[in-house]
């Protein structure tokens, strides 16, 4: 009798495990916990630069494929070279097409950033091509996703996917509530620069801020997270942020060094040991 009860309990445990797939996209868990997440923008195809960005403390990397010459082959090499990095790879795809979405997923992205959203169909298409059945229509094929995320990737991929929809124009603002209501959307990102470019208003002007507030309020009402540039980190209600790219961060770092800043853990007047850059100090 005891063996039968144990066997039944094991079956229930197995069924519960099957219904709760392993979560390795830390952005999903952080956002669910109400934490803010920040991503560093990547435009360079150099794997060493990518690894420096991916292990510098950012929550995710914003791999920029819409406004850069990066190819999927280059990005695949970057992700493979930095397997196990602390930052989760997100890709802003050139467009929400079947080819772009599936290639981004196959090379190992866990987040898809959809640019220039002005229709719900665009977001729904992205969700369709990014998810495996029964949720979507992503097909199986060659890819390095298993190497990066484990042998159970097919069973866990949908649960670890994050979809970010970008509102960049007044037309996008007008349907922000519909975008945020789409099942599968994790966050709606307010593109500060393009919103100004398309609306003709500047940040701080009442007309501009009205567009921003309308988007934020609609997204929060739908229970989704709001994103924006890291400069908006102190704005109420925002959780998903894009920081600068490699060139900006190098300049900021250089400014600190030239200003006499001391490296973390080092004493003033003591030079760091060459070859130790990027390595965490061992705890005693």
Question: Mind listing the pLDDT tens digit for each residue in 63-92?
Answer: 999 999 999 999 999 999 999 999 999 999
Cβ atoms of residues 17 and 243 within 8 Å: no
> Given this model, what pLDDT does residue 265 score?
64
Instruction: Record the tokens describing residue 221, joined without a space.
Output: 């009402």
First to last CA, the chain: 52
> Given this model, what pLDDT does residue 190 score?
98
Asked whether residue 257 carries a pLDDT value surpassing 70, the answer given is yes
Question: Mind listing the pLDDT tens digit for each residue in 156-214?
Answer: 999 999 999 999 999 999 999 999 999 999 999 999 999 999 999 999 999 999 999 99
Q: Which helix (H) or strand (E) holds 80?
A: helix 72-81
Question: Mind listing the pLDDT tens digit for each residue in 111-145?
Answer: 999 999 999 999 999 999 999 999 999 999 899 99
Give pTM, 2 decimals.
0.87
> Given this model, what pLDDT does residue 276 score?
62
> Given this model, what pLDDT does residue 260 score?
76
**Spatial CA neighbour of 141 closest among 72, 215, 65, 197:** 72
Q: Rounded CA gap, 21 and 37, in Å?
A: 23
Asked whether residue 269 carries a pLDDT value surpassing 50, the answer given is yes
> Given this model, what pLDDT does residue 199 score?
98
Calculate the alpha carbon distances from 149 to 41, 57, 80, 157, 206 in Å: 22, 20, 11, 9, 46
Q: Rounded CA gap, 228 and 216, in Å?
A: 10
Asked whether residue 103 carries a pLDDT value surpassing 90, the answer given is yes
With a CB cutoff of 8 Å and minimum separation 6, the contacts of 86 are 54, 55, 57, 58
- Reported as a pLDDT band with limits 50, 70 and 90, residue 275 is low
């Amino acid at each position: 009798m005891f063996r039968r009860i144990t066997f039944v309990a094991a079956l229930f445990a197995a069924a519960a495990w099957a219904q709760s797939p392993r979560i390795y996209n830390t952005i999903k868990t952080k956002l669910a916990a109400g934490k803010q997440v920040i991503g560093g923008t990547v435009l360079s195809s150099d794997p060493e630069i990518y690894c420096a960005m991916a292990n510098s403390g950012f929550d995710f990397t914003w791999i920029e494929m819409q406004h850069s010459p990066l190819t999927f082959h280059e990005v695949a090499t970057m992700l493979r070279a930095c397997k196990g990095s602390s930052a989760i790879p997100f890709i802003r795809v050139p467009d929400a097409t079947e080819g772009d979405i599936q290639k981004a997923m196959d090379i190992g992205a866990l987040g898809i950033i959809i640019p220039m959203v002005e229709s719900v169909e665009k977001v729904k298409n992205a969700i369709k091509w990014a998810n495996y059945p029964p949720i979507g229509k992503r097909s199986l094929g060659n890819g390095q996703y298993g190497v990066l995320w484990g042998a159970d990737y097919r069973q866990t991929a949908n649960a670890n996917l994050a979809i970010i929809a970008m509102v960049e124009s007044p037309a996008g603002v007008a349907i922000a509530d519909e975008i945020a209501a789409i099942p599968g959307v994790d966050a709606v990102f307010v593109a500060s620069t393009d919103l100004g470019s398309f609306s003709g208003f500047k940040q701080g002007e009442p007309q501009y801020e009205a567009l921003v507030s309308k988007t934020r309020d609609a997204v929060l009402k739908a229970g989704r997270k709001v994103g924006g540039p890291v400069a908006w980190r102190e704005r109420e209600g925002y959780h998903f942020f894009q920081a600068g790219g490699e060139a900006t961060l190098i300049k900021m770092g250089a400014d600190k060094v030239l200003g006499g800043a001391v490296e973390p853990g080092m004493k003033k007047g003591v030079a760091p040991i060459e070859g130790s850059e990027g390595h965490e100090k061992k705890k005693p």
